Amino acid sequence: MSDEFNFVGAAAEHFVAHDLWRRQIECSLTSQNMEFDLIAFTPQTVRIQVKANSRLLNKLSGEPAYAKRYDRYRFDCSRTRKGYENIDVFAFVALDKLQIMYVPFTGQRYYTFKAEDFDSPMLAEISWFYCMERLYGESAESD
């Protein structure tokens, strides 16, 4: 793995940890040999896998969009360490927009989102509560 890849991943993991901490949700980064990147301590334990993307892809070709069209983000979850069985939530981070979208684990290998999906200032908070409701049937707020 390249150093740039490691730095991007570490930056995204710390960014997600900061987002949760800012909303008073306790969390901890895990060691590199774990199946997931963070553990959040709500009334339930939530295992989070962080995926980062710092560039948009061209809609037609699927190649990095360095020209005029910046259409979508694609997150590759096929390389998740040791499988999916112990992941509750993916945290998709658009580093160029400093935005996080939390998505409950569904077993998909690739996730593609339009660029404008990451434009909402409340995206992280709304998607987190959606995940908690989907996983546990309730909002997982810390006291």
- Per DSSP, the residues of the chain read --HHHHHHHHHHHHHHHHHHHHTT-EEEEPPTTSSSSEEEESSSEEEEEEEEE-S-B-TTT-SB--SS---EEEEE-TT-TT-STT--EEEEEETTTTEEEEEE----SEEEEEGGGG--TTHHHHHHHHHHHHHHSS-----
d(CA 104, CA 90): 6
Q: What is the pLDDT of residues 26-70, one digit of tens each?
A: 999 998 778 899 999 998 999 999 998 866 555 555 555 554 455
**Per-residue confidence (pLDDT) for residue 62, from 0 to 100:** 55
**Per-residue confidence (pLDDT) for residue 24, from 0 to 100:** 95
Q: What's the pLDDT band for 142 if we cut at 50, 70, 90?
A: very low
Q: What is the mean pLDDT of the chain?
A: 82
Q: In this structure, which CATH number among 2.40.110.10, 3.30.70.20, 3.40.1350.10, 3.20.20.10 belongs to the domain 3-54+83-107+118-136?
A: 3.40.1350.10
CB 65 within 8 A of CB 72: no
Residue 70 carries which side chain, given as an amino acid letter?
Answer: Y
| Percent of the chain topping pLDDT 70 | 76
What residues does each domain of the chain span? 3-54+83-107+118-136
pTM exceeds 0.85 for this model: no
Given the DSSP bridges, would you call strands 89-94 and 45-53 parallel, antiparallel or unpaired? Answer: parallel
Spatial CA neighbour of 38 closest among 6, 7, 10: 10
Please, which residues bridge with residue 47 across strands? 39
